[in-house]
Amino acid sequence: MNLTRSIPFFISDSPKLYSTGRGDRTVDSEYTSQAAQAFKYDKGMKFISDNKVESYLDFWHFDKKVIAAAGTVWAGTPWEITAAEERLVSAGKFALSRTDSTSKGIDWLSLIVPSHANIIKEELAKMKAEGYVPVALRDTVSVDEAKRRYDASINWITQHNNAIIGNGPFYLDSYNPSAGVITIKAFRDNSYPFNVGYWNKYEHPKLATIENVAKDIPRTLSIGQPSNMVIHVNVDGKPSNNATVYYYLSNMDGKVVASGIAKPPLSSSNSSDRGTIGKFAIGLSSSDTQKLSPGPNSLKLFAVSFDAYKPDIITKRIIAVKSM
């Protein structure tokens, strides 16, 4: 594994997602092609203040919180490390991807390999001596601030012998390639709002599963007639209301004619009847079923536990018939 960025150059003097021709070293054949697909969905950003940004993207997910997460703009790597990588790759000393490394016959740049990290450190020293600030940052980062950041990253590499500088609760303290030993340490910050052990509850993922699909979902629906069904859901193998069930009913042409969130017949706070636990009701009105096509239609269900991101997805074909 090569621990490095998975994004194309974006802070150079001429950032782009296309090649200007033979010899253009600001584009990576592997990373640029990947990022170009993702960038199609990015529509823009609006800076509200020094610490607030609005991100606009053309992206759909059944859980709106996931859409919000996909629009994040915060980098996980210091810009000065990215800039140093870019300068080294643009100079033809390294490749940013395995594909370019093979095609160009040069090393694949890695932040974890000590020899590569020290070359990055040398590049940072050059950038400091030049008073270098990437064009994209010159309106927001002063030369003095850039030099302080160069010093900080140089000191990190000197101390840890790697250039992996992140923003999470753990950091890569050291790596010994010959022995194959990596040492990771916890970063303790007194301002961090969660105590040690807080996240242990997620060590065992409590996944939601949809049960009894063959019995709960009818094989046929009458067009123009209301229909009710109850979906049984388990979380961590037991009936539970600690999940969200989304449903999408589509006609023969794949057009969604009805959608929503199924809810337990009783809220979890009032569920004194244990027999209702894990039962989610879907009510289709006559106007919903009126939009169905005679013949095969489909009902898609997504069940997501409150404690685990991975959804259980079920698609069931339903035959719609004309009312007699």
Report residue 51 as tokens.
């610490």
DSSP for 7-45 reads S---SSSS--SS--STT--S--TTHHHHHHHHHTTEEEE
Q: Cα angle at 253 between 296 and 223, to 5 degrees?
A: 50
pLDDT of residue 145: 97
The domains of the chain are located at: 31-192, 208-322
Neighbours of 303 (CB within 10 A): 25
Cβ 141 vs Cβ 148: under 8 Å: no
Least confident of 42-51, 187-196, 270-279, 311-320: 270-279
Q: Which residue has the higher pLDDT, 162 or 169?
A: 162
State the Cα–Cα distance between residues 110 and 177, nearest whole angstrom: 12
Examine the pLDDT at 304 and tell me if it is beyond 80. yes
Of residues 252, 256, 246, 262, the one with CA closest to residue 321: 252
Examine the pLDDT at 198 and tell me if it is beyond 80. yes
Cβ 210 vs Cβ 314: under 8 Å: yes
How confident is the model over 233-276, as pLDDT tens digits? 999 999 999 999 999 999 999 999 999 999 886 544 444 556 68
Examine the pLDDT at 120 and tell me if it is beyond 90. yes
Which is it for the CA torsion 113, 114, 115, 120, positive or negative?
Answer: positive
Q: Which residue has the higher pLDDT, 63 or 9?
A: 63
Domain 208-322: which CATH class?
Answer: mainly beta
Per-residue 3-state assignment (H helix, E strand, C coil) for 83-111: HHHHHHHHCCCCECCHHHHHHHCCCECCC
Q: Residue 313: pLDDT band by 50, 70, 90 thresholds?
A: very high
Q: What is the mean pLDDT of residues 123-143?
A: 94
Q: Residue 1: pLDDT band by 50, 70, 90 thresholds?
A: very low
pLDDT of residue 195: 82
Residue 241, judged by CB atoms within 10 A of its CB (0-12, 13-18, 19+), counts as buried
How confident is the model over 27-84, as pLDDT tens digits? 777 877 777 777 778 888 888 887 888 888 888 877 777 787 777 777 788 999 999 9
Q: What is the mean pLDDT of residues 92-115?
A: 90
Least confident of 16-30, 151-165, 297-311: 16-30
Sheet hosting strand 243-250, strand order edge to edge: 220-223, 312-322, 295-305, 243-250, 256-262
Least confident of 30-44, 99-113, 278-292: 30-44
Q: Which residue has the higher pLDDT, 169 or 271?
A: 169
pLDDT of residue 276: 85
Whole-prediction pTM: 0.61
Examine the pLDDT at 209 and tell me if it is beyond 80. yes
Bridge partners of 185, per DSSP, are 171
Bridge partners of 319, per DSSP, are 220, 296
The chain-wide mean pLDDT, for the chain, equals 85
Examine the pLDDT at 283 and tell me if it is beyond 70. yes
Q: What is the mean pLDDT of residues 223-240?
A: 94
Grouping H, G, I as helix, E, B as strand and the rest as coil, residue 281 is strand
Buried/exposed code over 56-77 (b: 16+ C-beta within 10 A; e: otherwise): ebeeeebeeeeeeeebeeeeeb
